[in-house]
Amino acid sequence: MHGTENPSAWLQRWAHLIAPHSHVLDVACGAGRHMRFLAAQGHTAWGVDRNPDAVSMAQAYGSVSCADIENGPWPFPGQTFGGVVVTNYLWRDLMPVIVQSVAPGGVLIYETFAAGNETVGKPSRPDFLLQAGELLRVTQGMHVVAYEEGFEASPERFVQRIVAVRPHDTGVAARWALKAQTDLTQAAP
């Protein structure tokens, strides 16, 4: 079942940017692999998925809504989150809602398939493949910390990924660590 494998390496790499003890939303959460990871990091995990079997599994890690977000209402109207995670999911009509769900100072971690993937496997429909630079365009007004677009050999796939932070209106430049503090080496005194 989708969602039982290890968390995305992209999420693991950038989750340190999410403020401690944040409420974090996993869109199309499946069985909750990212919710599990985020809850283990001390966050309050939220999820949404349309598969009732997956939702019942994901509920072990946080609060999950079983909803068809492509054909029904957004289950979190007016709510914002300290982090929003989307992997292997694309429904363009929802992208503005997903981006607006990121609170000031919050982090969007998004990773999914991109144009070119039709040459190596599924998904292959253009509706489910990001076009060049598409995540950069939908996150205009946010601070992009990291962005990747290209081909991965194992497994073969074309991907696009972004980490973007909704800025605070404080006038002070934010300092976004490119590595988790635990990964940094200590300088000798």
What is the domain count for the chain? 1
Residue 133 makes CB contacts below 8 A (sequence gap 6+) with 149
Confirm whether 1 is domain-assigned.
Answer: no
pLDDT averaged per 10 residues, the chain (length 189): 78 96 97 97 97 97 96 95 96 95 97 87 88 94 94 91 90 65 41
- 153: helix, strand or coil: strand
Longest Cα separation, the chain: 59
Q: How far is CA 89 from CA 95, 104, 111, 151, in A?
A: 10, 24, 8, 17
pLDDT for residue 82: 98
Q: Does the reported pTM lie above 0.75?
A: yes
SS3 content of the chain, % helix, strand, coil (to 5): 25, 30, 45
Q: Which helix (H) or strand (E) holds 162?
A: strand 156-165
pLDDT for residue 35: 98
CATH number at residue 89: 3.40.50.150
Confirm whether 65 is domain-assigned.
Answer: yes
pLDDT for residue 184: 39
pLDDT for residue 124: 87
Q: In this structure, what token pair is assigned to residue 65?
A: 């809504």
Range of the domain at 156: 9-174
